């Protein structure tokens, strides 16, 4: 029973909301068995359910991890974060914090965390082309809970992560999400734009990486990218 529940948590964390039928197929058990597990997990507040309307037939129930469910998957990520924050704090110089408010100091700390993540994984990034490095960075940071998948969308790459490795911390300070973006940028050696975050209420954290220097990516309405050539007016 625990193995099935652990698998459900893992799938929902890594891939986002799923129906009973989808979970049953991915885990290899009967829909009835999954439905019983979901009822118990909803009662335990590890999972939340919502109805999705379909073009035909009755609405479908889909399940996603609750905040408590997300935290259950994140113990190791929080430990890594603490292990990186401690030396970052110890190594802050008096000049770096003198006259700075708490938010500025926190930004500096998480900047150091991003640098630590990049140093730890830099040996895994060997690709000469941007596309090769994007793939390698996605694989490397999947172990950090920062990235899961990448899509080639023509003029840019879209990197995505449906889970949040430290959701509570991310909901309390923007510096946490900024550090994830900065770590990706340092490893790629190319500008990265963060357009959505799970902590901000989106279904996934998404990042855009332009393939060419003459393409600038602008987040349309804060959600969808608008590709704009330098020297032209933004699309309206």
* The pLDDT of residue 230: 33
Q: What is the CATH number of the domain that holds 111?
A: 3.30.1380
Residues 90 and 40 reside in one and the same domain? no
Is 235 part of any domain? Answer: no
Is 234 part of any domain? Answer: no
- pLDDT tens track, the chain, 236 positions: 678 888 888 888 777 788 999 999 999 999 999 999 999 999 988 899 988 887 787 888 999 888 778 777 777 777 888 888 888 888 888 777 777 777 888 888 999 999 999 999 999 999 999 999 999 999 999 989 899 899 999 999 999 998 788 877 888 888 999 999 999 999 999 999 999 998 888 888 999 999 976 544 444 333 333 333 333 333 33
Residues 196 and 128 reside in one and the same domain? yes
For every residue of the chain, DSSP letters joined together read -HHHHHHHHHHHHHH--EEHHHHHHHHTS-HHHHHHHHHHHHHTTSEEEEEE--SSSSPEEEEEE-HHHHHHT-HHHHHHHHHHHHHHHHT--HHHHTT--HHHHHHHHHHHHHHHHHHHHGGG---SSHHHHHHHHHHHHHTTTS--EEEE-SSEEEEEESS-TTHHHHHH-HHHHHHHHHHHHHHHTS--EEEE-TTTT-SSEEEEEESSTTEEEEEETTTEEEEEETTSPPP-
Is 236 part of any domain? Answer: no
Is 216 part of any domain? Answer: yes
* The pLDDT of residue 1: 60
Q: Which residues pair with 205 in a beta bridge?
A: 161
Residues 117 and 215 reside in one and the same domain? yes
Q: Containing domain of residue 54, as a range? A: 2-72
This model's pTM is above 0.75: no
Residue 206 near residue 195 (C-beta atoms within 8 A):
yes
Q: What is the CATH number of the domain that holds 56?
A: 1.10.10.10
Residue 167 near residue 70 (C-beta atoms within 8 A):
yes
* The pLDDT of residue 219: 40
Calculate the CA dihedral of residues 159, 45, 68, 66 and round it to 10 degrees.
Answer: 20
Find all residues with CB under 8 Å of 83, minimum gap 6, and list them: none
Residues 161 and 186 reside in one and the same domain? yes
Instruction: Categorise residue 61: left if φ over 0, alpha if ψ from -120 to 50, beta otherwise.
Output: beta
Residues 221 and 149 reside in one and the same domain? yes
Residues 111 and 22 reside in one and the same domain? no
Cα of first residue to Cα of last residue in the chain, in angstroms, is 53
* The pLDDT of residue 234: 33
* The pLDDT of residue 222: 32
Residues 122 and 146 reside in one and the same domain? yes
Residues 52 and 81 reside in one and the same domain? no
Is 222 part of any domain? Answer: yes
Decide which of 20, 38, 72 is a domain's last residue.
Answer: 72
């Amino acid at each position: 029973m625990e193995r099935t529940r652990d698998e459900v948590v893992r799938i929902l964390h890594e891939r986002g909301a799923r129906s009973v039928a989808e979970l049953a197929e991915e885990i290899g058990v009967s829909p009835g068995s999954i439905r019983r597990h979901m009822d118990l997990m909803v009662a335990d507040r590890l999972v939340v359910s919502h109805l999705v309307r379909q073009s035909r037939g009755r609405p479908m129930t889909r399940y996603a991890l609750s905040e408590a469910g997300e935290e259950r998957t994140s113990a190791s990520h929080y430990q890594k974060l603490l292990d990186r924050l401690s030396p970052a704090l110890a190594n802050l110089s008096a000049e770096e914090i003198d006259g700075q408010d708490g938010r500025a100091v926190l930004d500096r700390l998480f900047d150091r965390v991003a640098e630590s993540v990049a140093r730890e994984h830099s040996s895994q990034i060997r690709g000469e082309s941007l596309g090769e490095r994007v793939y390698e960075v996605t694989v490397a940071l999947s172990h950090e809970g920062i990235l899961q998948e990448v899509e080639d969308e023509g003029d840019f790459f879209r990197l995505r992560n449906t889970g949040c490795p430290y959701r509570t911390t991310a909901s309390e300070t923007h510096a946490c999400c900024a550090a994830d973006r900065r770590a990706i940028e340092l490893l790629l050696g190319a500008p990265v734009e963060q357009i959505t975050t799970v902590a901000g209420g989106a279904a996934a954290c998404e990042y855009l990486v332009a393939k060419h220097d003459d393409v600038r990516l602008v987040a349309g309405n804060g959600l969808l990218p608008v590709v704009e050539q330098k020297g032209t007016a933004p699309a309206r």
